[in-house]
Amino acid sequence: MISEAGFIGLGSMGLPMATNVIAAGIKLRVHNRTASKAQPLLAAGATLAATAGAAATAGGMVLTMLADDAAVESIVTGADGIAARLGAGGIHVSMSTIAPATARRMAAYHADHGSIYVAAPVFGRPDNAAARQLVVCTSGPAAAKDRVRPILDAVGRAVFDYGEDPGAANVAKLTGNFLIAAALEAMAEAFTMAERNGVDRVKVAEMLGKTLFACPVYQRYGEMVAAKRHTPAGFALALGLKDVELVLKTGGDARVPMPLAAVVRDRLISGLAHGRDQMDWSALALGVLDDAGIKSS
């Protein structure tokens, strides 16, 4: 039974995830660059760690939900990094979407300090996180995964294991994010074709979401793309670009050409160039409207 843990990263995903960990009866030490974001957790019984390192205790457990590879590496390494603080038997559960190569490098760094790295990236948006409906991919040492399983069950509805390679779970996560991005591009093109031919794009999205493509991605994102509604951002466009660039790097390292990923990457870059950085990554669909000469609002 896990009685306490550290949690670093209280953004739109981390905050509801940490809330569910506390609800499962696990006492948390929490840290976030903007300390005020921890206030709801402190009211629920968490304690505030002044630094990321202070969220870790010898032989304990720390969960991280951070924006990118650099953020993960910055809290793992160094004299006050969590790897040194955790020490022998300690476990770092990394729930961020990062490069498989970064995960393997962090696992090696932890091993050098006697601690253990478990990859556990998640699928889902903030409301899924709040409802404990995330899907978790995991990889790492079997005994460590068994030990952290109660925490993974506290934040998600399903856990899928990809073996001991610390990078494997992140490969699986990137495949899913690539498919979502590709679906966004496909839906944007299809619905814009419908609109240009005088057919209600929202009705087309509703029909497809109930029949041929009756699945969450086409239903939820389909409604957003069809309605041209991309705020508030559940997953920011810049983060989408980061993930698609990770897809291209991971594919390139394995000598797998991914031309569709390159198309989507350019859509996301164009969206940022158009000042859409505060929008959801589904706003890549607005680029199709731009190309078709249709105003997005």
The one catalytic residue among 37, 145, 173, 295 = 173
37 is catalytic: no
- Find, among 177, 102, 107, the residue nearest to 137 by Cα: 177
90, 116 contact by CB (below 8 A): yes
Kind of pairing between the strands at 116-119 and 156-161: unpaired
| b (16+ CB within 10 A) / e for 26-57 | bebbbbbeeeebbeebeeeebebbeebbbbbb
Active-site residues: which are they? 173
